[in-house]
Amino acid sequence: MEEVVGVRLELLVTGWLALVALVVAVVLWVIHRRSSYYSDGLIISTTMFSLVAGVAGLVWVLMLWPYSTEYHKLYKVEGTVETVTNKMVEASGEFSEHTVLTLDTVDRPVLMSDPRGVTLEGRDVELTCRMQWHYKAQDTYHCAIYSIGDTR
């Protein structure tokens, strides 16, 4: 079972940074246009806040890729761990540091970088996850342990 519990923090922080810098730049520009004196400091401040707003806005738009809301939310996923494996990296045969779990309640793989993940087989777990987009492949959950329940 999965339920939405929030939005990814880095998206909120970057979006608010861009918005605040833009508002400050507009306020400084309005002050500069209404004032009767020429101020280099005011022009430089307006330019700097405009640049910060532009860069932060561009970074925020790039962070939103792919442009679907399901990839920018945090999910609480509950279930019993059916299998635990390590994912192979391409054709090299090396194992990654991510543990791959299969839960009875979700239809996609669950990846964890927490080393405790290898001991979860047969246990009830609650995970905090975000959905990861993959080009021409099944999307996965990237999760952190919220709580570990009893063995079934």
Q: In this structure, how many other beta carbons lie within 10 angstroms of the beta carbon of residue 28? A: 19
Between CA 141 and CA 90 the distance in angstroms is: 19
- Is 23 inside any structural domain? yes
Mean of per-residue pLDDT scores for the chain: 85
Residues contacting 97, CB < 8 A, separation 6+: 113
Q: Are residues 45 and 103 in the same domain?
A: no
Q: Are residues 95 and 118 in the same domain?
A: yes
Q: Are residues 94 and 130 in the same domain?
A: yes
Q: What is the pLDDT of residues 79-114, one digit of tens each?
A: 999 999 876 665 566 777 788 899 999 988 899 988
CB 17 within 8 A of CB 49: no
- Find the domain containing 80 and state its range: 74-151
Final residue of a structural domain among 64, 83, 105: 64
CB 140 within 8 A of CB 71: no
The reply to whether the predicted model has a pTM over 0.95 is no
- Is 105 inside any structural domain? yes
Q: Are residues 132 and 80 in the same domain?
A: yes
Q: Tokens for 146, please give them.
A: 């919220």
**Cis ω on the peptide bond leading into residue 66 (within 30° of 0)?**
yes
Q: Residue 141 sits in a domain of what CATH number?
A: 2.40.50.140
- Is 133 inside any structural domain? yes
